[in-house]
Amino acid sequence: MNPIDLPSFQRITNTHGALEGAAYFDAEESLVHDVFPDRIVFQTNYLDHSSYAVSVVEGAIQVRKTRLDNYQRGHKAQVIEDDMDDDDWSELDTLWQRLRQDLDKQGQGSQPDLADTLADLFDCLFDEPQAQAFIQAVAAPTGQWDWAWTQIESALTQTYQLAEFEWKEWSSYGVNAVNALAPLQRLGIEITHPDMATVDAVNKADNWERALLQYFNAQLDTHDLKLLAIGTHFDECQTFACLPMNGLGLVNALEILGKLGIVYKY
């Protein structure tokens, strides 16, 4: 019944695992799974927050399921171990097959093509001297699933175009972090701190993440700048990039980001 075979599991953990847990974003279910050198922890969308920790014990695949004892108790609910049932095995099969196929696919293909695609992105985002400097400094593709993001993150950090803060702190620390970015500093732009009525309206919006970003972009659009939530996946603590629109440059950059497996919202 266990859908995970030992050779495939060890190939994935050996290639993509990280000691702190490499995050794999399941775009179809908006879930983040953690890949370690010795195990994979799968999350689910079940109300009881079931998760499956898969590891190797005495040469065989072992699955340890945990869930909340009663999710209706909110923060008072306790995490308990539970036996896998047929629905659990079916869900694990779906999650595993998607993760395995995605990660195996990322290690295939022409490595020079991946580097060329990244070079095209830098040409869209930076002026020619900067773009060429970053292209020359790009590390050789490794097949690691987050290789492209590592290069992009480095370039945006070096140009002071990347901020990181928790979504829930957008109206305080988030505003300060964005105001400190180089594109705003160069133009003398300062995002105003929202009043409580605005904070409440954004936080209660049906799509509050988009409403949050629109608060920033309403003040940036006239300066041909755009703030995006960006990365390998969306998380509680998110990276945000402030990018120039550059005519169609940003539009082209967003298309390339999709090819590189980078997710974004604006």
- What does the pLDDT profile of the chain (266 residues) look like in tens digits? 788 989 889 999 998 898 888 888 887 788 889 999 999 999 999 989 999 999 999 889 999 999 998 877 777 888 999 999 999 999 999 999 999 988 887 655 545 588 899 999 999 999 999 999 999 998 888 767 688 899 999 999 999 999 999 999 999 999 999 999 999 999 999 999 999 999 999 999 988 999 999 999 999 999 999 999 999 878 889 999 999 988 778 989 998 988 887 888 99
Which residues, other chains included, contact 228 with Cβ-Cβ below 8 Å and sequence gap of 6+? Answer: 213, 240, 241, 243, 264, 265, 266
C-alpha–C-alpha distance, residues 195 and 236, integer Å: 23
Backbone angles phi, psi at 3, to 5 degrees: -80, -5
116 three-class SS: helix
pLDDT confidence of residue 143? 66
pLDDT confidence of residue 28? 79
* Closest of 261, 265, 209 to residue 27, by C-alpha: 261
C-alpha–C-alpha distance, residues 119 and 128, integer Å: 11
DSSP letter, residue 147: H
Q: Are strands 51-57 and 225-231 parallel, antiparallel or unpaired?
A: unpaired
C-alpha–C-alpha distance, residues 130 and 262, integer Å: 21
Q: Two tokens at 246?
A: 């550059």
Alpha carbon 80 to its chain's center: 28
C-alpha–C-alpha distance, residues 229 and 136, integer Å: 26
pTM of the model: 0.67
pLDDT confidence of residue 110? 46
Q: Which residue has the tokens 């994935």?
A: 12
